[in-house]
A and B are shown apart, each in its own frame.
Chain A
Amino acid sequence: MVLLRVAQGDERAMEQCITKFGPLVWSIAKRHVQDHSSLEDIVQEAFTDLWKSAKRYNPAIATESTFVGLLARRRAIDFARKESRKPQLEPLPDADSLPHASIESSATLRCESEDVRAALKELPEETQQIFSLHFDEGMTHPEIVEKTGLPLGTVKTRLRRGLIDLRNKFRRLDSGQSPSNP
């Protein structure tokens, strides 16, 4: 695993990481930030975070791409929030850790690509549609409202509850159960 080698300070592994995960980090950053120069900054910061945080990576808790995605997401959302005029009392997490392997944690979500697809299919049709618009096509909430005709509150609620449902399904998958089991 390339992240484990990065954690050991292997510079060559870091090069491989950039090649392997660069497009993902770039895509995530693009979802949240329009300005090209800021985009580049975010990608560079995300990889700096990755170098510093790789020792926290635990393959038993998340896949490598999820771990990298988490770091990139934080950087991008942090930037977008700072750019917005909204009050920013919510936490803006920075480079930090996944729980250590030694800690029994409810955060464990080691789902592979096929698990994600399987769990998504278990969601209600209307939630799947909004997830597809938001996560796949990168639509903002107002864009989803315009596309679907749904009230903004409904869009937000479906996304939030959908994320919670999906997390619960991932947990069940992680414990070896079917995602649809209660």
Chain B
Amino acid sequence: MKNQDTSDRFEELEAGRILGDLVPSEIQDWKMLSANPSNQADLSLELAAAALDAEFLTSEDTVLPEELLKKLHNGISEFVKAENEDTGLPEELLKKFHNGISESENDVIVRPTRWQGLLASSKTAWSIAALFAVLFVAKSFVEKTPADPGGLMATAPEKAASSEARKTLISKAGDLIQSEFGGTENYNQMSGTVVWSDSLQEGYMSLTNLPANDPGAKQYQLWIVDPGRDEKPVDGGVFDISTSDGTAIIPIRNPLMVTNPKAFVITLEQSGGVVVSKQEIVVALAKTS
């Protein structure tokens, strides 16, 4: 398919996504095409649909049920309370992360009702293992298969394209977040950085000395911790490292939008990635604030 055809097809599928009418085969197509860095959707189609809704559905005749109206007004104080919560990662978590994860902590399963509530509680004796116990991924509600295009084994041209795209992002994004990765006990030789832009919904990892993986057996998976968005971390995509030498540039592939990431975490998972991580192998973490 020519580039223009691919771009047109992606745009049509993106319109279908916004209208909510994609069928399963189209979802697969959308996913495959969205993995291409040149197919970057902006918000314009969604804004167009919202403008239509606003135009057609704004009516003086529509009245909210009295009971709901009361609930909404009463709920304002709750919004304010939630907004004022500290959503930073507690130091205790980071300390434990850098000290490694104990066997017993690894068994802890925590399923908080509100992710940000957990993050906000600096007094809670929770660990990095507990953090990863809540890696219910919101991304794909269907298990990935080994053939899933989400995995990324970059060829030389793709690597060059990712490197260029990363440079472009760094130069154009006015809200760029940049943070350093620190490896866990068994990965302390690795280093890396992550760059991310909320407004462009685009980011890249630059990873050095991360051991090569066998894509048929294990794959790396990125998770984005965004407490302001949801209690559930967002999947940032599955990727492969083909060689331990040199630096790999990995685009972040977040199927859900991320607005204020507090941390980026890499785990090693079964081939194809997982929906619920057992946090058995935590590789690295980059904290943004």
Contacts and interface: CB of A to CB of B under 8 A. Distances in A.
A65 B256 contact: no
A73 B76 CA distance: 21
B53 A135 contact: yes
Contacts of A74: 46
Contacts of B197: 103
B275 to A, nearest CB: 11
A47 interface: yes
Contacts of B229: 94-96
Given A18-B73, A66-B54, A87-B24, A163 B48 contact: yes
Contacts of A32: 20
A72 B68 CA distance: 16
B105 interface: no
Interface stretch (B138-146, B181-189, B217-225, B263-271): B138-146
B11 A164 contact: yes
Contacts of A63: 51, 54
Given A11-B76, A99-B200, A163 B51 contact: no
A163 B53 CA distance: 12
Contacts of B83: 9, 51-52
Contact of A66 (B17, B23, B51, B79): B51
B47 A62 contact: yes
B27 to A, nearest CB: 5
A90 B30 contact: yes
B46 A70 contact: yes
B15 A28 contact: no
A116 B52 contact: yes
Interface residues of B, number: 73
B16 A27 contact: no
Contact of A26 (B21, B52, B64, B73): B64
Nearest to B15: A160
Contact of A22 (B52, B55, B72, B139): B72
A102 B20 contact: no
Given A90-B255, A91-B257, A92-B138, A105 B199 contact: yes
A79 to B, nearest CB: 11
Contacts of A99: 42-43, 199-200
Contacts of B54: 24, 63, 65-66, 68-69, 116
Nearest to B259: A96
Contacts of A91: 17, 139, 254-257
Interface string B176-210: 00000000000000000000011110000000000
Interface in B44-84: 44-60, 62-65, 68-69, 71-73, 75-77, 79-80, 82-83
B174 interface: yes
Interface string A77-101: 1001110001111111111111110
Q: Which among B47, B62, B174 has the highest number of chain A CB atoms within 10 Å?
A: B47
B212 interface: no
A6 B229 CA distance: 18
B43 A98 contact: yes
B230 interface: yes
Contact of B42 (A15, A93, A95, A106): A106
Contacts of B44: 106-109, 167, 170-171
A2 interface: no
B108 interface: no
B59 to A, nearest CB: 7
Interface of A: 9, 11, 14-15, 18, 22-24, 26-28, 31-32, 40, 43-44, 47-48, 51-53, 56, 61-63, 65-70, 72-74, 77, 80-82, 86-100, 102-109, 111, 113, 116-117, 131, 135-136, 141, 156-157, 159-161, 163-164, 166-167, 170-171
Given A24-B62, A99-B200, 12 more contacts: A14-B76, A18-B76, A43-B72, A48-B79, A86-B23, A89-B30, A89-B31, A91-B257, A93-B46, A93-B256, A103-B172, A108-B44
28 contacts: A23-B64, A26-B68, A27-B58, A31-B53, A43-B68, A51-B80, A61-B47, A66-B51, A69-B57, A70-B47, A77-B20, A87-B141, A89-B141, A89-B255, A91-B256, A93-B46, A93-B256, A95-B259, A96-B259, A99-B199, A99-B200, A108-B44, A136-B56, A156-B16, A161-B12, A163-B48, A164-B15, A167-B48
